[in-house]
Structure 1
């Protein structure tokens, strides 16, 4: 008898990224390379159906993936959507053994782990919006620390 609590894994890879930073350059190349290898990859612009609620669809796609690649870029932390994704990804890493691979695209890993520069500015803005002691912001900070502490790829150019 199959367990109904175990999620069905549909996607090989879920890509988490800040669209304005990487959608028309790095992401296109990564997605194309994965697709050419037959790797079924979730990218919101390709998989999100018109009329579908974005938040629940993204969270479900993370749950239905074997692995996640988080592309940390300069403005990643400015997006509450991205922060929700990284928090869900890290939750699924712990609870469902989701494999997680970070790519530090034009940012230092330490900036992600212990918010500095643009990541610190973004978190200050989120704190002013949601409250300094907001559970949501605390969850996001912990997710950034955890994901930023994983071994990954550090890309400065190209």
Structure 2
């Protein structure tokens, strides 16, 4: 019993929000952030929580580690961002050892394209393979395919989503 109470005191954020800013920051993600905060949740949102001059990848890894839940907004260009893929790898590592709940939102993308690394995601990973180590790209692909297998929300832009 002592370990569960000590682990809960380590948690700093209710939710870590992972998204590609250029894709969703000014629309969907902003609304999601407001809704979560409106429910009284403490959300790690990079623009609000990062300290000036702080090493970005280290700060994000720490924030992920001290969050109860990660919500990943998977948009068409999510996989083109190395920082998004680094976040995703950290998130899925914690998920695999049952230290975090992961909730994917498939935002205008097909969940099977995430799981199978198809469509725009295939091109993004092909581009990474020309610039990054084989091991790093393999790690990212594994994490990406795993999040594609999870239950989540599919927001396809139809009239019922609005």
What count of residue pairs does the alignment treat as equivalent? 156
After superposition, the CA RMSD in angstroms is 1.9
CA distance in 1: counterparts of 2:79 and 2:4, whole angstroms = 39
CA distance in 2: counterparts of 1:42 and 1:107, whole angstroms = 24
Could you tell me whether the CA contact under 8 Å between 1:7 and 1:63 is conserved in 2?
no
Query: What are structure 2's unaligned runs of at least 5 residues?
Result: none
Deviation of residue 6 (structure 1)? 8.5
Deviation of residue 128 (structure 1)? 0.8
- 1:149 equivalent to 2:155? Answer no
Question: Runs (4+) of structure 1 moved beyond 4 Å?
Answer: 1-7
The Cα offsets for residues 15-41 of structure 1, whole Å up to 9 and x where unpaired, read as 000000000000110000011110000
Deviation of residue 97 (structure 1)? 2.1
Scaled by the length of structure 1, the TM-score of the pair is 0.93
Deviation of residue 63 (structure 1)? 0.2
Scaled by the length of structure 2, the TM-score of the pair is 0.91
SS at match of 2:10: coil
Query: What are structure 1's unaligned runs of at least 5 residues?
Result: none
The Cα offsets for residues 25-66 of structure 1, whole Å up to 9 and x where unpaired, read as 001100000111100000101101111110000000000000
> Counterpart in 1 of 2:33?
31
Deviation of residue 94 (structure 1)? 1.7
